[in-house]
Chain A
Amino acid sequence: TQLLEQSPQFLSIQEGENLTVYCNSSSVFSSLQWYRQEPGEGPVLLVTVVTGGEVKKLKRLTFQFGDARKDSSLHITAAQPGDTGLYLCAGPSSGGSNYKLTFGKGTLLTVNP
């Protein structure tokens, strides 16, 4: 079974600070996705990374896929209260299915004004 471990589990910071959250596995993934889930809502896709070593930027968010495609990180610059939410990483489950996602437990980020 492929597992995705996310750290830290909880993170509370002040507005304007920078932060990095991590998604690690002992298994190789063909791609990884990052989602943000706000309270009472479903997850919303932020980015998909597919190439080892890939770096993608989305405004103040920078996503990196590890060279070995076993890990990924999300860096947020100058965090804002609107960044508050549960950040989930997910990857295709093993077995060749192209429809089943394995999710990590998430990092719950709180950005205080």
Chain B
Amino acid sequence: NAGVTQTPKFRILKIGQSMTLQCTQDMNHNYMYWYRQDPGMGLKLIYYSVGAGITDKGEVPNGYNVSRSTTEDFPLRLELAAPSQTSVYFCASSPLGESPLHFGNGTRLTVT
């Protein structure tokens, strides 16, 4: 099993550009999450999903969108990139709501 796979690993965007961070998991987990981690800060939840077709906002959703058309995939969309979105983005999954999270390797995004 590959676990949780994120692509790309690194990306540099210009202000105003858009991009999609990809996340896929092969563990048949129902729950999937997107977090961002800024230096010296704890991970902040952007969006999460409890199953295909169901998504909900986390703590810091502004500037992002998600979709969950399949159990496996949970892409994160940035429509108009801003410098404040420079961060490391982690996708995670869990089988149940109370289960520990399995994280992907992260995507390092720089917006200049």
On whether the two chains bind one another, the answer is no
- Measured CB to CB, the residues of B under 8 A from A are none
